[in-house]
Amino acid sequence: MNTRDLVLIALFAAIVVVLGLIPPITLGFIPVPITAQSMGVMLAGCILGAKRGALAFLLFLLLVAIGLPVLSGGRGGLAVFAGPSGGFILGWVVATFVTGLIAQRFVREGQPEVRQFVGFFLASVVGGIVVLYAIGMPWVSAVTGTPLLAVATGSLAFLPGDFLKAAIATLAARAVFAGYPLLPVRA
């Protein structure tokens, strides 16, 4: 890994920290407030690609684990991994990796703009929603004993917000791809 990749990973982890400081937005038609930080998975994968994106999140989790309150709402420390949503937090690394793999596979420079939007949206939905829930929900079920079906039903409340996040991440990732492309330079 060259120094530039190392710096990109560190800067992106720092961006995810700052996204946690932005106040969450509440929308009338969605039951849960939307935190900018939870968009980080989709953004990191779509902008830095699989390897660097996943490493950026691994670094972010290291910050959480060593006791820095960097999760949105000033949370942090080992307690968040021990809690019911620990699986979602650990799942961020895998989710970012998958998002990055799909984005690298489907988005190229010189493609029509629409194809790039579709590629980023697909990557964000599969990586940031499908993979993340596939790790997070069984974890919740395993540690709290709540049947998986009940957890899945409850998680439906988060889905509208997640799709909105995927849409925002798609637009932002495409803007970065047009302004300062990093995805094609494979690490």
Contact by Cβ (8 Å): 60, 48: no
Contact by Cβ (8 Å): 75, 69: yes
Q: Which of 48, 34, 52, 54 is nearest to 159 (CA)?
A: 34
Interaction between residue 32 and another protein (CB under 8 A): no
Q: Report the DSSP beta bridge partners of residue 75.
A: 71
Q: Which of 84, 90, 152, 158 binds another protein (CB under 8 A)?
A: 84
Interaction between residue 185 and another protein (CB under 8 A): no
Stretch that binds another protein, among 16-24, 98-106, 114-122, 125-133 (CB under 8 A): 16-24
C-alpha span between 136 and 127 (Å, rounded): 13
Q: Which of 33, 73, 130, 184 binds another protein (CB under 8 A)?
A: 73
| CA-based max dimension of the chain | 50
**Interface positions with another protein (CB under 8 A):** 1-4, 6-15, 17-19, 21-22, 25, 34, 36, 39, 43, 47, 59, 62-63, 65-70, 73, 75-85, 140, 143-147, 150, 154, 168, 171-172, 175-176, 179-180, 182
